[in-house]
Structure 1
């Protein structure tokens, strides 16, 4: 598909089709504004967390498709974790940059390993106990065995994980994860120095400098054909790759996204995992090389299909030759261990079959077919590629608030020192240059930190006999919770009601509950990202995201299982935490009716029964609008607790049995069985 051989009519047709596919991909993959928002929200959350971590704690970096800005089905969010006080060096002269009393140094020895892999020799007399447990003696030195380290640390981040490549893998609720325990290096690999010299046109010199300054990482997996596979480590450029993807223009990013879609929906469709020879990383590498070689001078919507075609031809060439050069270390042939011999021939025949069809090969992809057919059936169809017209204000708001909710859910540590460090970090960041999305994310993080701090403080001083300390702690907690309500969404006001209930101020709690009930009942409120578009636009359209968040958005209530919020839920929190679930997620209306019932028990028994009836109707009859399917286990449990307190033991037994039948999102089955046992005593 050389443009020089195309007639003007065909060239125009391809450009027209490219524009249609561009629009389709913006709807599937995201517009440039959506992608920027997703990245900014994740970036600021990660920045806050890592600034707070002390030297003996893990630094965390998210990677994978979701971190790059994709939200397609199957997009993964991988995590990389490393010790702040362990550092890898390439040369002994680099020891001068470290305090050897505070940092454990590790030397990379790559002379006996394939390109892109290395051995890691421990130089320091001290290190983390897990590092010592993974040591093997080689060539007169103590080296860290990647296979041993992988086995030892597999379940460090999430218990009961299984080894998958260099990662510990598993499922939390419905989310699959891959977490890699690795080591960090502050210096750019000498073997990748040629990459710096290649960067004439892309990426921008500032990006190159940033990448080189950021160094690299080492993940615990060796080369299958290496002499020391079980002890070798792979040099990881995940951070560099993330920065490169961020530096792409939107057409380049969509080209990468289209190749990922085609790989999943067509090339690998129906294959077992061991038969999938090509992966998303190969697609990304092809896009990197194509951009850097300046094969296509103008990456724009009209050239999108041409860009895809050049990348596809490059992949086909690699498969034919059996060589896929790593973008940073070209000597590292990423096909060496699995794409060769008969497997290579079969893959080439399959890809060449698509090549012979020309751009029509994209019709095999369900996600792309409609965009292409639109133009084929309507060649004069007018296509607007203005991204701002593709996503409405309400749709964008819904996605942004969803992204913020997903990223802020990990509550800060309950220790007072770390909570103060969080607040100081947020304060410092407020004077930094931030994007508009990061400002909203910081606002929500602040609210989350404040309500955690308020209940932590209350728990610390609840048993003290010194009235003055209790009074001061109470005033501080109340102030922090009012700020929480000021910064957070509508349902955040329920944290105040929880606090008042916990401190026996039932009238004050009920006053907050009544106001919150009125706010939640407004027809324009966005609940679980479902909303009446017209009324939302009338109420808050065009206003700041901060205003929209406070007046028109509600989220699930999140209870950190290390903090006691409501005594009646202590059993559930304890059991959930024992099963390695850090938080309870409870629908706001379930919390509201529960608190209403618990408070009215002490002031008005008739209203208490009304509140319990409202809770029962909600849990029994909601179709997923107010009670998410994943949260039915805790919702039925709370209904059962309230029914048990009211003396309706038969109804409580039924609710507990229903809780056991739900998806065990919170892993509270042991608590449910304990409560069922209580009923029979």
Structure 2
């Protein structure tokens, strides 16, 4: 049995272990949070707002965490029927909140008040007339959203609660399509006036949350007999604001609760048959109530295990009572559906068994290996991070944010320039500079018309030469960003400068060979190797210099980018991006350049390397159908139609993401036409 001194010492060690395992530093946590805020600002368009929710949006993601988004239809506004429609909403579709008779607290019906402005097909196809009134069916809307994601993103989506879920490139993400309600929900008015003895959340934060309103998400009360018209009131945006207000120690306790939950998931599955009987949302709710009911001084490093134990006791109390109150609408019992009867007793037994172990409960489970208890016993892992380690993690967080930069970075959008002009921190400057340079590249691409690209003799036309030179200058800053130099290489190939294109490919060959999906651990290892040879600096200039040397990502091409004419079929899909892993693209450009230069030995070597990369774990055809397509194009250029068809067929049969945008079948048809034409006119082929 530990005395208070030993427990405080162990708690400080636990705090260090949690920092090493999940958070790395408070600055790193803030960078991750700030990245989501900037990403939301840039990703949100005039019609659709984007909110990052869940662990990812909170900056508290761990192994196994999903990436959650809310897509907010800003052409729709939800309000109460006794409210007057403001003049500025005259061109919006208005939905009125109506009571859901058979639904529990926090569930409503949405009646159409006015249907004007831009009305999406998925909303229009979800209209239902009941007693001469028009409602929106949540079930129909959710299914329509899942169907609409296929042509937009080229992947299969399955509905899961209010969200549509998709797995892509070893990542899983959930998208919730919702409607905004710009006023605070009347069902949650108690939250506004609730007594708060310890001042959390403070009045400023409450006012900020209330001003942001809430959202309506398409899912009904699963304990209800009729969910067809029911919508749930979502406070996800408010919850993210609350989590962002957590102190660093509180975030550590939150991380420990989520860790504990994942460690006992297997036990829950084997014993109860349902590992979702407890979810991370319950842990977040526990944290909200725990912080609200305690003084700020309680949350210290030396008390971390006590804080965790306090939260754990709240959870056990709720399970024992069979009642988990929603933080904003306490009358909504979130245990109502699953935690009752025999399952309630089994769950309570599991938690009480863990409770009896006290500190040793941190040794349970094997989702995370080694366990936190084992880390506590390792003196090396329980020591505080050094300054260099903190700087390493800080840079790692920055680079990971860049790898997951929003799509708008690769479109013509001035938001990144606006944000760059008001950037304050090193991270703000690096992140927005990266976005601005990507946007500049897109602007440059639009300058190049088809007649300019198809002309090899540009010296005879001064305007064309000027435009091309301007384009090259505007692409060049983005080309400093590691593998993004391939956009400049593409430009040189398309303007006939094959030697320069090959030179860039040689320079970047080693870097692109290291690409393995941009996963955090591989990125961290790359940074470590770099810092072994170079003393890291902390300023934005030093960060950009490192970025130039180690930034690796897929080549993302939109329809406005400078792109190879060989990929005209793939680039005809204007609603999406073409994602090409960097090594196959470098080898493909090598093949094309050597072919144009008449260098058969260089061309054949590039082809052999491209054949070899087809089975690469991270850049091969099993993850990217385009890798097979590039090989097929090479064979087709050489006139080996049978091998081209074989490569295109493998591309068409790929189960990789975005496969619905794959025109490989069209390419096979074209090859057969070429073969037929060569038989009819053998002397002209």
Find 1:148's aligned residue among 132, 136, 140.
Answer: 140
Aligned to 1:347: 347
Aligned to 1:588: 582
Find 2:13's aligned residue among 20, 28, 52.
Answer: 20
Aligned to 1:191: 187
Distance 1:125 1:155, change over 3 A: closer
The one-character-per-residue Cα deviations of 1:346-371 (angstroms, maximum 9, x if unpaired) are: 22222222222323222213338644
1: CA distance, partners of 2:670 / 2:393: 42
- 1:174: Cα distance to partner? 3.2
2: CA distance, partners of 1:75 / 1:292: 26
Q: Please list, as runs of the form range in 1=range in 2, the aligned pairs for 1:90-239 lying within 5 A after superposition.
A: 90=80, 92-96=82-86, 98-110=87-99, 112=101, 113-126=103-116, 128=119, 129-138=121-130, 141-159=133-151, 160-198=156-194, 199=196, 200-226=198-224, 229-239=227-237
Distance 1:647 1:174, change over 3 A: same
Q: Give the TM-score, by structure 1 length.
A: 0.84
2: CA distance, partners of 1:561 / 1:457: 13
Find 1:458's aligned residue among 419, 440, 448.
Answer: 448
Find 2:487's aligned residue among 492, 495, 500.
Answer: 495
- 1:660: Cα distance to partner? 6.7
The one-character-per-residue Cα deviations of 1:446-469 (angstroms, maximum 9, x if unpaired) are: 232233333344256659999787
Q: Please list, as runs of the form range in 1=range in 2, the aligned pairs for 1:651-662 lying within 5 A after superposition.
A: none
The one-character-per-residue Cα deviations of 1:203-228 (angstroms, maximum 9, x if unpaired) are: 24332222111111010112234475
Find 2:631's aligned residue among 631, 639, 656.
Answer: 639
Distance 1:340 1:244, change over 3 A: same
- 1:189: Cα distance to partner? 1.4
> What SS does structure 2 have at the residue aligned with 1:555?
coil
2: CA distance, partners of 1:180 / 1:587: 29
> What SS does structure 2 have at the residue aligned with 1:349?
helix
Q: Structure 1 stretch 400-409 or stretch 390-399: which is displaced more?
A: 390-399
Q: Structure 1 stretch 317-326 or stretch 274-283: which is displaced more?
A: 274-283
Aligned to 1:289: 289
Aligned to 2:433: 443
2: CA distance, partners of 1:86 / 1:317: 41
1: CA distance, partners of 2:512 / 2:170: 30
The one-character-per-residue Cα deviations of 1:32-88 (angstroms, maximum 9, x if unpaired) are: 2332222222221220121xx22xx22221212222223422211122112212111
Distance 1:619 1:102, change over 3 A: same
Residues 1:538 and 2:533 aligned together: yes
Find 2:598's aligned residue among 596, 599, 605.
Answer: 605
> What is the Cα-based RMSD across aligned positions, in Å?
3.6
The one-character-per-residue Cα deviations of 1:187-246 (angstroms, maximum 9, x if unpaired) are: 111232322333552124332222111111010112234475321211100001111111
Aligned to 2:62: 72
The one-character-per-residue Cα deviations of 1:115-140 (angstroms, maximum 9, x if unpaired) are: 21222222114362543432334566
Q: Following superposition, which runs of at least 4 residues in structure 1 exceed 6 angstroms of deviation? A: 463-469, 522-527
Q: Is the 8 A contact 1:589 1:626 kept in 2?
A: no
Distance 1:643 1:141, change over 3 A: closer
> What SS does structure 2 have at the residue aligned with 1:208?
helix
Q: Is the 8 A contact 2:221 2:227 kept in 1?
A: yes
1: CA distance, partners of 2:553 / 2:344: 50
Q: Please list, as runs of the form range in 1=range in 2, the aligned pairs for 1:142-541 lying within 5 A after superposition.
A: 142-159=134-151, 160-198=156-194, 199=196, 200-226=198-224, 229-269=227-267, 271=269, 274=274, 276-294=276-294, 297-366=297-366, 367=368, 370-373=371-374, 375=376, 386-389=384-387, 391=389, 393-394=391-392, 396-409=394-407, 412=410, 419=412, 422-423=413-414, 425-459=415-449, 473-485=467-479, 488-502=480-494, 505-507=495-497, 509-515=498-504, 517-518=506-507, 521=510, 529=523, 531=526, 533-539=528-534, 541=536
Q: Structure 1 stretch 663-672 or stretch 255-264: which is displaced more?
A: 663-672
- 1:541: Cα distance to partner? 2.2
2: CA distance, partners of 1:252 / 1:337: 29
> What SS does structure 2 have at the residue aligned with 1:93?
coil
2: CA distance, partners of 1:60 / 1:36: 20
2: CA distance, partners of 1:679 / 1:393: 57
1: CA distance, partners of 2:645 / 2:123: 50
1: CA distance, partners of 2:188 / 2:492: 60
Distance 1:653 1:69, change over 3 A: same
Q: Structure 1 stretch 669-678 or stretch 309-318: which is displaced more?
A: 669-678
> What SS does structure 2 have at the residue aligned with 1:123?
strand
- 1:155: Cα distance to partner? 2.5
Consecutive unaligned residues of structure 2, counting only runs of 5 or more, are 677-685
1: CA distance, partners of 2:138 / 2:515: 48
Q: Is the 8 A contact 1:100 1:124 kept in 2?
A: no
2: CA distance, partners of 1:523 / 1:646: 26
The one-character-per-residue Cα deviations of 1:526-582 (angstroms, maximum 9, x if unpaired) are: 9853537455453462162122222443333222257561011223445xx49x8x3
1: CA distance, partners of 2:157 / 2:618: 32
1: CA distance, partners of 2:615 / 2:328: 51
Q: Structure 1 stretch 108-117 or stretch 442-451: which is displaced more?
A: 108-117
Q: Is the 8 A contact 1:409 1:558 kept in 2?
A: no
Distance 1:37 1:193, change over 3 A: same
- 1:298: Cα distance to partner? 2.5
- The number of residues matched between the two structures is 647
Aligned to 2:547: 549
Q: Structure 1 stretch 650-659 or stretch 462-471: which is displaced more?
A: 462-471
Q: Give the TM-score, by structure 2 length.
A: 0.84
Distance 1:374 1:338, change over 3 A: closer
